Amino acid sequence: MKNNELAKRYVKDIKSADVWSVFKIIADFVKGFDELEDLGPAVTIFGSARTDKNEFYYKEAQKLSSMLAKKGFSIMTGGGPGIMEAANRGAKKYKTVESVGLNIDLPKEQIANPYTTKDLSFDYFFSRKVMLVKYSIAYVIFPGGYGTLDELFEALTLAQTRKITGIKIFVVGVDFYKPLLKFLKTKLLKNGMIDKDDFYLIELSDDLECIVNEIEDSLLKQVTVLKDAGLSQTKYYKVLADFSKKKDK
């Protein structure tokens, strides 16, 4: 019954010209901006909702998020099970950071995991996706399906078009993603559909410690980017700058 109701709601929201849909979209954005503006340095971790807790990449996602949280980085996910649960789980034990879950109603799979300290629910994929990338200083993509690939290519498109600057895009799962990178290199790059710089926006690595170190190193650059863009008076800039100063001491 719930699946049918959700499907009907999606059709109505997308296909109708109902002005109330506009207000719901605005409400999604306002909620996200209000709740996440003072989040501070956060890393968004993407990955499959279907990964079991006994699987290798679940354990690696949990380990990575713990390493980042220990360094003072909050963790943000889509709020569901699988890799998202693992990432929130790894961060929750550190009381000085937030373990954020940005959930959405789906006919299946998207059940909120119990390891969040801040949980928001969105009506629309696009507004949720904006929040997942807007308030992060790095993205880490673990193995996943269509949703994970969508998030990976969204991040790459934003970086390619310079809508985001200085933000690292890490892909964990060398064996899993190697065929995808081969496709990008032999088809897109070879045929001139992307540039060499576009291809190297992806940092493919299973070295979790290296990923943590690179994320730390990128923080100062991002603070500088915000300052150069005239955003030094925003709450988000001030939180990041303060965190960066503490790291330098």
* Confidence class for position 1, pLDDT limits 50, 70, 90: very low
Mean pLDDT of 131-151: 94
CA atoms within 13 A on the CB side of 81: 12
Give percent helix, percent strand, percent coil of the chain, each to the nearest 5: 55, 10, 35
Q: pLDDT value at position 20?
A: 67
Three-state DSSP state, 102: strand
Question: Measured between alpha carbons, how far is 174 from 237 in angstroms, rounded to an integer?
Answer: 34
Domains in the chain (CATH in brackets) are: 1-31 (no CATH), 42-216 (3.40.50.450)
Question: What is the token pair recorded at 92?
Answer: 């929750």
Q: Phi and psi at residue 102, in whole multiples of 5°?
A: -105, 95
Residue pair 167/214 in contact (Cβ under 8 Å)? The answer is no
pTM, two decimals, is 0.88
pLDDT at 143 over 90: yes
Q: pLDDT value at position 67?
A: 98
